[in-house]
Each structure stands twice: as C-alpha cells, then as structure tokens.
Amino acid sequence: MTDDQLLRYSRHILLDEMGIEGQEQVLASHALIIGAGGLGSPAALYLASAGVGHITLVDDDVVDLTNLQRQIAHTTARVGQPKVASAASAMAAINPEVQVTVLQARADAAVLDTLVQDACVVLDCSDNYATRHAVNAACVRHRKPLVAGAVIRFDAQITVVDPRQAASPCYACIFPPEADFEEVRCSTMGVFAPLVGVVGALQAAEALKLLAGIGTSLAGRLLMLDGRSMEWSTMNVARAPHCTVCVAR
C-alpha cells in the first residue's frame, strides 16, 4: 500500500481482525452490485470508501425526483441521468482510486452469467422478486457469495448465501421461486427512507467481512428489522433438501 492508502484506510488497519492484510484483500477484490437505488446507494458508497478495488454497478433505470427521498448516491442535479452513472460520480468523489464499471441494463440471466463469474462477492440490491432469484441462481451456479437485502414499508431483511459452504441455504431455499408471491413495490406501497440506508450499510458490512475473511457471515440466518418498533429478529434457515436451485450445486 502507498502512504496515502495507509492514511485513507488507517481506521480499518487499526482493527486487529482487519489489519494491513485484510485491507489489501479488500483492495484486490471485485464486488458486483445489482441495483443502484435505495439499497445500492449506501452499499456502493461504503464499498468505495472502504477501498474495494473494482466495483461493477448494474441498473437499467434513470434518476427520478421520487428517488431522492432515499437513494443517497443521487442528487437533484443528476435527475434524468442513468443511476449507474450518477452513483459512479458519487463513488469517485469519495474515493477516486476505486475502479468503477457501470452497465445500464436489466440484470437478466445472460448478463448475470457473464458478470457473476468475475466477481468476488455479489450484492443483490434489486427491488423485484424475479431479479433476486436470477441473481441467486447465478451465484449458486458460479459458487460466489451473495449478500441479499430487501426493504418495503417499515420492514427490512438481509441474509447471506454462500455456495462455498455445503450446508449454506440459498435464497430459493428461504423464498421458493414457485411460491405464490405478491410483488409489492415502494412506488405503490411506500418505504421508510432510513431503512434502506440501514440495510444497504449492512450489506456493505457483510460484503467486506467476506472479502477480508473476518467474522461470521449471515449465511444460514435471515436477519429482520421491524422499523416501527426498531426490533431485530433472527430466523435460522437450513438448506432445503428439494431446492431446485441447490440441486445443481
């Protein structure tokens, strides 16, 4: 590391669990973030500030005035710009050393199959059920750790899928893709703005732990937050024996 890097990342280096070795692993890593909105904004900003060497952002949307209540990577001046470009500008302002690759496209199976295999960790910051399952399937197929978060109204959740662990459940083990699920969106149901910041920051924290090889991840656990009472709850989850996604693992 350079002298400037030693200064920039000094508060991480001071942590016994991280140290210089852990920070160097972060600097050499590649994170893939699916979604540059409410969750993707804080996740991207924290990963950039922490020095993740290469970050790829995928989102097909543009910045809208209604986004600014919660999507903190964007500004009023960037309304109408692609979200990935807006977020990349915010990341560069914090840490110009980070290499940011942007893709303004929907994260379909073909896109994910190409991008996931090159990533060290994947963060699912999307806002729809179909994309979450597509990201999960790609991560299982390529044996890449996934940090999945979701927020709607006052309810939030986060988990980690780690296909490198034989007993780790995937997202489909917890939320079967064939389940009769009613899609809800913040555009019609609303979302309490600070909760996406909380969960996005937690996603960044879990990703950094995975990259640096420190602590214990949320693999096998679903962490949930009720924003009305600010009460956390944890549900232990096991790998589903008949999961259609895990069967190929």
pTM for this model (two decimals): 0.95
- pLDDT for 44: 98
Instruction: Classify 116 as helix, strand or coil.
Output: helix
Q: Which residues pair with 99 in a beta bridge?
A: 54
Q: Which residues pair with 236 in a beta bridge?
A: 221
The CA-atom distances, in angstroms, between 34 and each of 37, 50, 163, 237 are 9, 18, 18, 24
How many residues in the chain?
249
Q: Which residues pair with 191 in a beta bridge?
A: 153
How far apart are the C-alpha atoms of 32 and 17, rounded to whole Å? 24
- pLDDT for 184: 55
- pLDDT for 247: 76
- pLDDT for 188: 67
Counting as low any pLDDT under 70, the low residues of the chain are 179-188, 248-249
How far apart are the C-alpha atoms of 81 and 168, rounded to whole Å? 39
How far apart are the C-alpha atoms of 88 and 74, rounded to whole Å? 10
- Residue 209: phi, psi to the nearest 5? -60, -45
- pLDDT for 166: 87
43 burial (CB, 10 Å; 0-12 / 13-18 / 19+) is buried
Class of domain 3-248: alpha beta
CA angle 170, 171, 176 (to 5 degrees): 110
How far apart are the C-alpha atoms of 196 and 225, rounded to whole Å? 11
Cα 156 to chain centroid, rounded: 14
Which residues are the active-site residues? 186
Which positions ≥6 away from 10 have C-beta within 8 Å?
none
Q: Which residue has the tokens 């990201």?
A: 135
- pLDDT for 185: 60
- pLDDT for 54: 98
Which positions ≥6 away from 18 have C-beta within 8 Å?
12, 212, 214
- pLDDT for 189: 79
Residue 127's nearest CA partner among 215, 2, 41 is 41
